């Protein structure tokens, strides 16, 4: 990969000296997380999507869940101590995080938001998630990810 092909997420991982693998699926037409997992030949339970929500208090939260599952809003709210949470509107994503829908990563947002990763991540040596640009994924161990962002693990899927 040429240096200018690197995403901001990859540069942050390099800067923190965190080992990772990177994948691209840019020319495949894959859109959904399940399609991305299939194109990359990966277990959908190991490929994660990054979701941004807003709590009843107005605080924003990031949830990272397997593409094979769905975020349970009640469990997610409970995990962060909110009465309720809702997904943010797509048009709010870019100004809030610096990322577009389909290219959102838990690493490198404009501002850090409390982040919860589904507990199933602990079942895998590594997990894959967006490298911050549509068509790019990184694979990192949950232990190494903790060197880059602060997060908690919780049961947040339906």
**CA-based torsion, 27, 29, 33, 36: positive or negative:** negative
The tally of domains found in the chain comes to 1
Q: How confident is the model at residue 30 (pLDDT cuts 50, 70, 90)?
A: confident
Tokens, residue 78: 């409970």
- Can you tell me the mean pLDDT for 94-118? 96
Question: Could you tell me where the DSSP H helices lie in the chain?
Answer: 8-15, 33-40, 73-79, 90-97, 142-145
Of the two residues 59 and 28, the one the predictor is more confident about is 59
- Can you tell me the mean pLDDT for 43-68? 97
pLDDT value for 51: 97
Q: Report which of 61, 147, 46 is spatially closest to residue 104, judged by C-alpha positions.
A: 61
Distance from C-alpha of 89 to C-alpha of 147, rounded to nearest angstrom = 30
Q: How confident is the model at residue 27 (pLDDT cuts 50, 70, 90)?
A: confident
Statement: residue 123 has pLDDT above 60: yes
Statement: residue 2 has pLDDT above 70: no
Q: How confident is the model at residue 28 (pLDDT cuts 50, 70, 90)?
A: confident
Distance from C-alpha of 145 to C-alpha of 76, rounded to nearest angstrom = 20
Structural domain of 138: 3-154
Statement: residue 98 has pLDDT above 60: yes
pTM (two decimals): 0.95
pLDDT value for 1: 52
Mean per-residue pLDDT over the chain, rounded: 94
- Can you tell me the mean pLDDT for 28-54? 93
> What is the domain-level CATH number for residue 81?
3.90.960.10
């Amino acid at each position: 990969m040429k240096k200018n092909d690197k995403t901001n997420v990859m540069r942050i991982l390099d800067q923190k000296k965190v080992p990772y693998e990177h994948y691209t699926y840019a020319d495949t037409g894959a859109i959904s997380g399940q399609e991305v997992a299939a194109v990359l030949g990966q277990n959908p339970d190991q490929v994660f999507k990054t979701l941004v929500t807003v709590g009843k208090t107005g605080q924003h939260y990031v949830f990272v869940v397997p593409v094979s599952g769905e975020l349970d809003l009640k469990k997610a709210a409970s995990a962060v101590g909110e009465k309720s949470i809702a997904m943010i509107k797509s048009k709010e994503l870019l100004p809030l995080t610096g990322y577009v829908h389909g290219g959102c990563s838990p690493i490198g947002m404009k501002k850090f938001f409390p982040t919860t990763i589904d507990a199933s991540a602990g079942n895998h040596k590594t997990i894959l998630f967006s490298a911050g640009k549509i068509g790019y994924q990184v694979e990192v161990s949950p232990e190494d990810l903790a060197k880059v962002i602060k997060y908690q693990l919780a049961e947040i899927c339906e």
